[in-house]
A and B are shown apart, each in its own frame.
Chain A
Amino acid sequence: MTKKKILIIDDETDFCKLVKRNLELISDYEVSIAGDGKKGFKSAKEFKPHLILLDIMMPGIDGLEVLKKLKADSETTSSVVIMLTARGDDELKIKAAQSYCEDYITKPIDAPELKIKIEETLKRNGIK
């Protein structure tokens, strides 16, 4: 069985690093990280992740733009996306984008909870 691949796109690079460390420690995922939208999109095309954790507010191309590009591109459209937010008023934006993304997570989230959320989302989308 091949390892599930997770891509984290967030300009908070410490957050990316620690989530990667945690997921690799407590789960069997292969995790890759990208520090901005542009790198994220590129990485999604090359790494072909099963699931992407995508931060909304990033400098340059923001998360919602990245989401649109991911869904419009045949190489990346099958990756399931969970949006990450630290704001409180992002729910409306996420609702608007809900036809493209699977779910969203408000930071801070602890590692076991994040692991469960990823597992459930993958299962819901038939990725075994």
Chain B
Amino acid sequence: MPIKVLLIEDNLDHLEISKRILQKAGGDYEVDSASDSREALQKIFAGPYDVILCDYRLLEVTALDILREMNRKDIDTPFIVVTALGSEKIAVDMMKEGAYDYLIKDVLYSDTLDIVIKKAIERYRNKKEKEGLQKEIREAYNKLKETQDQLIQSEKLSALGQLASGVAHEVRNPLGIIMQGIDYLENKIANKESDIQDTLTMLKASVKRANRIIGSLLDFSRAASLDLNPEDLNGILESSLSLVKVRFKFENINIVVETKNDLPRVMADKNKLEQVFINILLNAMQSMPEGGKIVIRAFEREEESFQNDIGKKIPLNSLQPGEKVVMVEIEDSGPGVPEENLKKIFDPFFSTKGPNGGVGLGLSISRNIINMHKGGIYLESQLGKGTKVTVVLKIAEG
């Protein structure tokens, strides 16, 4: 492969000399030339060249201007500046800007031109090789880090799972006894005074509440394992909705579904994903005790365009640039989430619903489940306007 050289020189005699030197150096040069900066930049942009040899002083500009323009356009080609004798300071400035080497027009010019060019090309190749290796190392490191994070997360969940099922056993057995005891007293005490009945009802409600907490803790730790299959997202959304529809009607909530029919299949654990959507839908419902509206959207997007809209808010390390995803948005017309709660909203046991509401694990479980899907979940909210939860899912391959 011949070495493609671009000579930038406004003095035609000098240009001719350089061409001849290169021809004499051997048949492995393919020489192109430009006699002013405009032509030079045109040719550089149209490129690529293996090396650019540029006279420092051109008609209206200097080699520094050309190099800066190349840097601005991110063009990385070995650039050698040719200066007159006694202009070493210029050469240093040029090197600082990224020039590979400099040549001085003196008696040694003809002897050194070929060597300097080949040296610059070699340096360029070494640099590229190093960059390639660095990139590989960086990618390998990122992948390792990601795997490690996932491993730590699943280890944590599995430890929590063991703890949770141990706790469940230890607590549910006494709860079972208390429950049976309450039932027995309820049936046994004839002609109960109202405060006795009231007390028994409260006891029973508390047993049920404690049991719900245990159940949520188990759900939380169970996100550790997924049964992933290519699934129809619209189907999952429909079955999630069918489970809450009756309650929504009762609570005076209007549901608008705006999903695309031809959505590609997503890699998902159907039951777990349903759990996520139901959690989000119930949260939306509970934020609107006077009734309101919930809009559900689902559409396909490229990862890139999705980042443009939402910026860096959803970290999606596992997605490649340009990889297509399916996004589900669930938006309510509720009062919104105050700024100070936004940061804590995905934290385990964070709840604003009070003792008789949820345990505060719904969104936390949802986030675990979505993370295990290598997707993203994000919540945006404006006080007085409503809350939008976005779920991003990977498309099933093939």
Do A and B actually bind? yes
Q: Which residues from chain A sit less than 8 Å from chain B, CB to CB?
A: 12, 14-15, 18-19, 21-22, 25-26, 57, 86-89, 106-112
Residues of chain B lying within 8 A (CB to CB) of residue A108? 172, 175-176, 178-180, 207, 211
- What's the minimum C-beta distance from A22 to chain B, rounded to whole angstroms? 5
* Chain B residue nearest in CB terms to A106: B172
In the bound complex, CA of A12 to CA of B176 (Å): 10
Query: Quick check: is B353 within 8 A (CB to CB) of the other chain?
Result: no
Which of A12, A86, A106, A109 is most buried by chain B, counting CB atoms within 10 A of its CB?
A86
A107 and B184 alpha carbons, distance in the complex (Å): 16
Beta-carbon contact of A14 and B164 below 8 Å: no
Contact B180 A12 (CB under 8 A): no
Please determine whether A15 and B177 come into contact, CB atoms closer than 8 angstroms.
Answer: yes
Q: How far is the CB of B210 from chain A (nearest CB, A)?
A: 9
Q: Which residues of A contact B176 (CB under 8 A)?
A: 12, 15, 86, 107-109
CB pair B168–A110 under 8 Å, yes or no, is no
Interface membership of B169, Cβ < 8 A: yes
**Within 8 Å CB of A18, what residues of B?**
177, 180-181, 184
In the assembled complex, the Cα of A42 lies from the Cα of B169 at a distance in Å of 26
- A sample of 28 inter-chain contacts (CB < 8 A) reads A12-B177, A15-B173, A15-B176, A18-B180, A22-B180, A22-B183, A22-B184, A25-B188, A57-B169, A86-B168, A86-B169, A87-B166, A87-B168, A87-B169, A88-B164, A88-B165, A88-B214, A88-B218, A107-B176, A107-B179, A108-B172, A108-B178, A108-B179, A108-B207, A110-B182, A110-B183, A111-B180, A111-B184
Residues of B near A86 (CB, < 8 A) are: 168-169, 171-173, 176
**Does B374 sit within 8 A of A, measured CB to CB?**
no
Given contacts A22-B180, A25-B184, A107-B179, 12 further A-B contacts (CB under 8 A): A18-B177, A18-B181, A18-B184, A22-B187, A26-B187, A86-B172, A88-B164, A88-B215, A89-B222, A106-B172, A111-B179, A111-B184
Query: Would you call B204 an interface residue if the criterion is a C-beta within 8 Å of the partner chain's C-beta atoms?
Result: yes
Closest Cβ of chain A to B265, distance in Å, is 27
Q: Which of B161, B164, B183, B211 has the most CB of A within 10 A?
A: B183
Q: Which residues of B contact A26 (CB under 8 A)?
A: 187
Asked if A107 and B187 make an inter-chain contact with CB atoms under 8 angstroms apart, the answer reads no
A19 proximity list for chain B (CB < 8 A): 180
CB distance from B157 to the nearest CB of A (A): 13
Q: Say yes or no: A14 contacts B183, CB within 8 Å.
A: no
B175 partner residues in chain A, CB cutoff 8 A:
107-108
- Chain B residues with Cβ below 8 Å from A111 are 179-180, 183-184, 187
Q: Is the CB of A107 within 8 A of B183?
A: no
Question: Would you give the shortest CB distance from B161 to chain A, in whole angstroms?
Answer: 7
Chain A proximity of B360: nearest CB distance (Å): 18
CA of A88 to CA of B207 in the docked complex: distance in angstroms? 17
Chain B residues in 8 Å Cβ range of A87:
165-166, 168-169, 172
A14 touches B184 (CB 8 A): no
Q: Which 4 residue pairs of A and B lie closest in terms of their CB atoms, listed nearest first? A: A107-B176, A88-B218, A111-B183, A18-B180
B253 to chain A minimum Cβ distance, whole angstroms, is 30
Q: Are B204 and A110 in contact (CB under 8 A)?
A: yes
Q: Who on chain A is nearest to B215 by CB?
A: A88
Is the beta-carbon distance between A89 and B161 smaller than 8 angstroms? yes
Known pairs A88-B214, A88-B218, A107-B175; A15 contacts B184 (CB<8 A): no
The reply to whether A109 and B179 form a contact with Cβ atoms under 8 Å apart is yes
A18, A107, A111 pick with most chain B CB within 10 angstroms:
A107
